[in-house]
């Protein structure tokens, strides 16, 4: 009997050690291919950051929008929705379950709505940026809808930037290509919220926002830029594009964005004019909006001046 027990114990110990070695091998293989961000409990993140961003709510800010399009300025609304969530680095989607392999991200969904004459425009861009602030955005997507058609662009951050783009325009339809990693304008609005002092400065190469590239029919690639942080303003100038982006933010944590401006040539041919798109903060709330999808919750939109 004692001999049998000893044999069973040895079998269990061997199986346990084998499983542990297998788990270590899996972890090593995963980390070889994917840079694992530190979890939000990391000492690198302040307590005020954790208290604000991990309270089970999103931050929703509405802006009064003046949008340059076709050589004229249109009025509309813009909304920035920031929320933290877990991200699966291999599949590059939101994680449904907690795991040590997940990457903690600060996600930004930006929406714009405005009319051009009889027909409306709807624009949305999504950015998944690691809260560890130690690498580029893990994923960026952009979609633009209007009555002529719609376009969609997505970037996945893997060994290189893998970009897929679809459009109804001749010369832009169904593209897939890779780019060497570079600063993304889309990620700046999220990096700023984590630490504005970490924003890149000087003579740089930056990939402009997907929204700008698609609306102006510019090639998605890095362009020469000059960036500077001065007080609570961050400015990026693209000499090649004759375009300037300026973001104004609260210099105190949590560094809310008060507004932004883009100056560039709007329109095509004889209708082309240098105009400035402006977004000015209107209202801000924190809410677990995903739990407020009933008709009885529509009144909350009033608090954002969206009705």
Decide if 247 contacts 232 (C-beta within 8 A). no
Number of helices followed by number of strands (H, E) in the chain:
4, 16
Residue 287: count of CB within 10 angstroms of its CB: 16
Question: Is the bond preceding residue 254 a cis peptide, omega within 30 degrees?
Answer: yes
Decide if 143 contacts 210 (C-beta within 8 A). no
Residue 250, CA distances (Å) to 12, 95, 128, 142, 144 in order: 59, 31, 22, 26, 29
| 3-state helix, strand and coil shares in percent for the chain, rounded to the nearest 5 | 25, 45, 30
Closest-CA residue to 188 (of 241, 249, 239, 144): 249
Say if strands 93-94 and 103-116 run parallel, antiparallel, or are unpaired: unpaired
Using pLDDT thresholds of 50, 70 and 90, give the confidence band for residue 289.
very high
pLDDT tens string 46-95: 899 999 999 999 999 999 999 999 999 999 999 999 999 998 887 778 88
pLDDT tens string 105-135: 999 999 999 999 999 999 999 999 999 999 9
Decide if 299 contacts 292 (C-beta within 8 A). no
Three-state secondary structure call for residue 40: coil
Percent of all residues in the chain with a pLDDT value above 70, rounded to a whole number: 86
Task: Give the tokens for residue 267.
Answer: 């329109």
pLDDT of residue 169: 83
Is the residue at 125 inside a domain?
Answer: yes
Q: How many residues does the chain have?
A: 307
- Total structural domains in the chain? 1
Using pLDDT thresholds of 50, 70 and 90, give the confidence band for residue 6.
low
Burial string for 250-274 (b: 16+ CB within 10 Å, else e) reads eeeeeebbbbbbbbbebbeeeeeee
pLDDT of residue 100: 77
Burial class (CB within 10 angstroms; exposed 0-12, middle 13-18, buried 19+) of 50: middle
Provide the whole-model pTM: 0.84
Decide if 165 contacts 184 (C-beta within 8 A). no
Provide the residue range defining the domain that includes 142.
45-304
Q: Using alpha carbons only, give the angle 50, 56, 57 rounded to the nearest 5 degrees.
A: 100
CB proximity list for 64: less than 8 A, separation 6 or greater: 75, 77, 279, 280, 282, 305
Three-state secondary structure call for residue 306: coil
Task: Give the tokens for residue 115.
Answer: 């009319």
Decide if 238 contacts 208 (C-beta within 8 A). yes
Residue 177 has pLDDT above 80, yes or no: yes
Closest-CA residue to 212 (of 282, 117, 112, 120): 112
List the single range of 40-44, 56-60, 224-228, 261-265 with lowest mean pLDDT: 40-44
Q: State mean pLDDT over 287-292.
A: 95
Is the residue at 61 inside a domain?
Answer: yes
């Amino acid at each position: 009997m004692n001999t049998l027990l000893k044999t069973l114990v040895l079998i269990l110990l061997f199986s346990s050690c084998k499983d542990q070695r297998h788990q270590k091998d899996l972890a090593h293989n995963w980390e070889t291919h994917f840079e694992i961000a530190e979890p939000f409990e990391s000492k690198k993140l302040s307590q005020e950051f954790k208290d604000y961003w991990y309270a089970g709510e999103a931050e929703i800010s509405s802006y009064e929008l003046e949008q340059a399009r076709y050589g004229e300025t249109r009025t509309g609304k813009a909304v920035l929705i920031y929320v933290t969530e877990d991200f699966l680095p291999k599949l590059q989607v939101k994680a449904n379950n907690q795991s040590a392999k997940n990457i903690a991200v600060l996600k930004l969904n930006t929406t714009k709505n405005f009319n051009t004459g009889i027909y409306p425009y709807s624009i949305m861009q999504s950015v998944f940026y690691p809260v560890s602030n130690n690498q580029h955005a893990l994923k960026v997507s952009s979609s633009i809808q209007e009555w002529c058609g719609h376009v969609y662009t997505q970037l996945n951050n893997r060994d290189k930037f893998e970009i897929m783009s679809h459009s109804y325009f001749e010369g832009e339809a169904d593209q897939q290509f890779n780019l060497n990693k570079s600063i993304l304008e889309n990620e700046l609005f999220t990096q700023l919220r984590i630490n504005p002092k970490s924003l890149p400065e000087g003579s740089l190469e930056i990939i402009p926002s997907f929204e700008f590239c698609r609306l102006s029919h510019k090639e998605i690639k890095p362009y020469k830029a000059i960036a500077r942080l001065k007080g609570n303003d961050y400015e990026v100038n693209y000499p090649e594009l004759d375009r300037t982006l300026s973001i104004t933010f609260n210099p105190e944590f949590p560094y809310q964005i008060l507004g932004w401006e883009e100056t560039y040539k709007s329109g095509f041919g004889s209708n082309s004019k240098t105009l400035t798109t402006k977004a000015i903060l209107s209202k801000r709330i924190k809410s677990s909006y995903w739990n407020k999808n009933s008709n009885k919750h529509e009144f909350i939109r009033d608090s954002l001046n969206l009705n």
